[in-house]
Structure 1
Amino acid sequence: MGSPDEMMAYSSLSKIDTSQNQRAALSNGVAGNNYPAQDYLYEPSFEPDFPEYDSRDNPFAPTRASPKVDLKTVLGGLVSIVMGANKSEDDASQQQNFTTDISFLGSDKNGDIDVHPSVCVPSAPPLLEASALQYSAYREVLLADPPEWLPDSSAKACLQCNLPFTALTRGRHHCRFCGGIFCKNCSKGRCLLPMKFRIRDPQRVCDACYERLDPLQGLLINYNSNSMQPAKHDVMDWTSTRSWLNMPVGVSMEYEIYKATNTMKKYCQVARLNPEKSIPSSILKGAKGLAILTVAKAGAVLTYKVGTGLVVARRSDGSWSAPSAILSVGLGWGVQIGGELTDFIIVLHDRKAVKAFSSRIHISLGAGLSAAAGPIGRAFEADVRASEKGSGICYTYSCSKGAFVGVSLEGNVVTTRSETNLRFYGDAYLTTTDILFGRVGRPRAAQPLYSALDDLFSRMVC
Structure 2
Amino acid sequence: MVSPKEKVTYSSFPKLTNPIETNSNSKTNLWVPQVSPNTNTYPAIDGYDSAAEEEEQGVEESGIDGWAPLPASNRPPEVNLRNVLLGLIAIVTGRNKSGNSSQKSDNSGISFLGSNSNGDSFLLPSVYLPSAPPLLGEVMNSVGAHKSVLEAEPPEWLPDSCTSFCMQCSAPFAPLTRGRHHCRFCGGVFCRVCTKGRCLLPRKFRVRDPQRVCDGCYDRLDPVQGLLLNQVSNASQTAKHDVMDWTSMRGWLNLPVGMKMEDEIYKAANTLRSFTQVARFNPEKSIPQAVLSGASGLAVLTVVKAGAVLTYKVGTGLVVARRSDGSWSAPSAILSFGLGWGAQIGGELMDFVIVLHGSEAVKTFTSRMHFSLGAGLSAAAGPIGRVLEADLRTGERGTGVCYTYSCSKGAFVGVSLEGNFVMTRMDANLRFYGDPYLTTTDILLGTVDRPKAAGPLYSALHDLLSKINYM
TM beyond 0.5: yes
Does residue 459 (structure 1) correspond to residue 467 (structure 2)? The answer is yes
**Mapping of residues 134-145 of structure 1, within 5 Å:** 134-145=142-153
Q: State how many pairs are aligned.
A: 335
CA contact (8 A) 1:293 1:343 kept: yes
Distance 2:404 2:139 in 1: 56
Residue 242 of structure 1: how far off its partner (Å)? 1.8
Does residue 333 (structure 1) correspond to residue 333 (structure 2)? The answer is no
Residue 132 of structure 1: how far off its partner (Å)? 5.2
**Corresponding residue for 2:253?**
245
**Corresponding residue for 1:149?**
157
Deviation track 1:165-205 (CA, whole Å, cap 9, x = no partner) reads 11111111111001111111100000000000000000000
**Mapping of residues 51-130 of structure 1, within 5 Å:** 129-130=137-138
Aligned residue among 258, 281, 304 for 1:273: 281
Does residue 165 (structure 1) correspond to residue 169 (structure 2)? The answer is no
Residue 157 of structure 1: how far off its partner (Å)? 1.4
Residue identity matched to 1:134? S
Does residue 313 (structure 1) correspond to residue 313 (structure 2)? The answer is no
DSSP 3-state at the match of 2:172:
coil
Residue 268 of structure 1: how far off its partner (Å)? 0.5
Deviation track 1:224-247 (CA, whole Å, cap 9, x = no partner) reads 110010000011011232212101
CA contact (8 A) 1:315 1:438 kept: no
Residue 374 of structure 1: how far off its partner (Å)? 1.0
Residue identity matched to 2:414? G
Over 4 Å off, 4+ runs: 128-132
**Corresponding residue for 1:80?**
none
Deviation track 1:60-88 (CA, whole Å, cap 9, x = no partner) reads xxxxxxxxxxxxxxxxxxxxxxxxxxxxx
**Corresponding residue for 1:445?**
453
**Corresponding residue for 1:382?**
390
Bigger radius of gyration: 1
DSSP 3-state at the match of 2:317:
strand
Percentage of identical aligned residues: 72
Residue 343 of structure 1: how far off its partner (Å)? 0.3
Residue 149 of structure 1: how far off its partner (Å)? 1.2
Deviation track 1:204-261 (CA, whole Å, cap 9, x = no partner) reads 0000000000000000001111001000001101123221210111000011000000
**Corresponding residue for 1:18?**
none
Residue 131 of structure 1: how far off its partner (Å)? 5.2
Distance 1:276 1:334 in 2: 28
**Corresponding residue for 1:408?**
416
Aligned residue among 235, 241, 255 for 1:233: 241
Does residue 178 (structure 1) correspond to residue 186 (structure 2)? The answer is yes
**Corresponding residue for 1:189?**
197
DSSP 3-state at the match of 2:423:
strand
Residue 349 of structure 1: how far off its partner (Å)? 1.1
DSSP 3-state at the match of 1:223:
coil
Distance 2:313 2:235 in 1: 29
Distance 1:244 1:171 in 2: 45
CA contact (8 A) 1:377 1:399 kept: yes
Distance 1:456 1:228 in 2: 25
Distance 1:259 1:242 in 2: 8
Does residue 369 (structure 1) correspond to residue 396 (structure 2)? The answer is no
Residue 438 of structure 1: how far off its partner (Å)? 3.0
Deviation track 1:23-62 (CA, whole Å, cap 9, x = no partner) reads xxxxxxxxxxxxxxxxxxxxxxxxxxxxxxxxxxxxxxxx
Q: TM-score, normalised by structure 2?
A: 0.70
Distance 1:455 1:353 in 2: 24
Distance 2:182 2:139 in 1: 31
Q: TM-score, normalised by structure 1?
A: 0.71
**Corresponding residue for 1:424?**
432
Distance 2:315 2:308 in 1: 19
Deviation track 1:243-284 (CA, whole Å, cap 9, x = no partner) reads 121011100001100000000001101111100110000100
Deviation track 1:141-179 (CA, whole Å, cap 9, x = no partner) reads 111111111111112111111111111111111110011
CA contact (8 A) 1:243 1:262 kept: yes
DSSP 3-state at the match of 1:460:
helix
Residue identity matched to 1:286? G
Aligned residue among 278, 282, 302 for 2:310: 302
Aligned residue among 345, 364, 367 for 1:359: 367
Does residue 208 (structure 1) correspond to residue 234 (structure 2)? The answer is no
Which deviates more from structure 2 when the two are superposed, residues 420-429 or residues 156-165?
Answer: 156-165
Which deviates more from structure 2 when the two are superposed, residues 148-157 or residues 414-423?
Answer: 148-157
**Corresponding residue for 2:355?**
347
CA 1:409–1:420: 2 relative to 1, 3 Å? same
Structure 1 unaligned runs (5+)?
1-127
Distance 1:149 1:245 in 2: 42
CA contact (8 A) 1:172 1:181 kept: yes
Distance 1:440 1:346 in 2: 22
DSSP 3-state at the match of 1:449:
helix
Distance 1:131 1:447 in 2: 41
Residue 377 of structure 1: how far off its partner (Å)? 0.7
Deviation track 1:379-425 (CA, whole Å, cap 9, x = no partner) reads 01000000111100000000111111111000000010001000000
Structure 2 unaligned runs (5+)?
1-135
Distance 2:334 2:180 in 1: 31
Distance 2:299 2:308 in 1: 27
**Corresponding residue for 2:402?**
394
Distance 1:239 1:335 in 2: 38
Residue 133 of structure 1: how far off its partner (Å)? 3.2
Deviation track 1:359-392 (CA, whole Å, cap 9, x = no partner) reads 1110000000001111111101000000111100
Residue identity matched to 1:356? T
Distance 2:390 2:183 in 1: 48
CA 1:198–1:318: 2 relative to 1, 3 Å? same
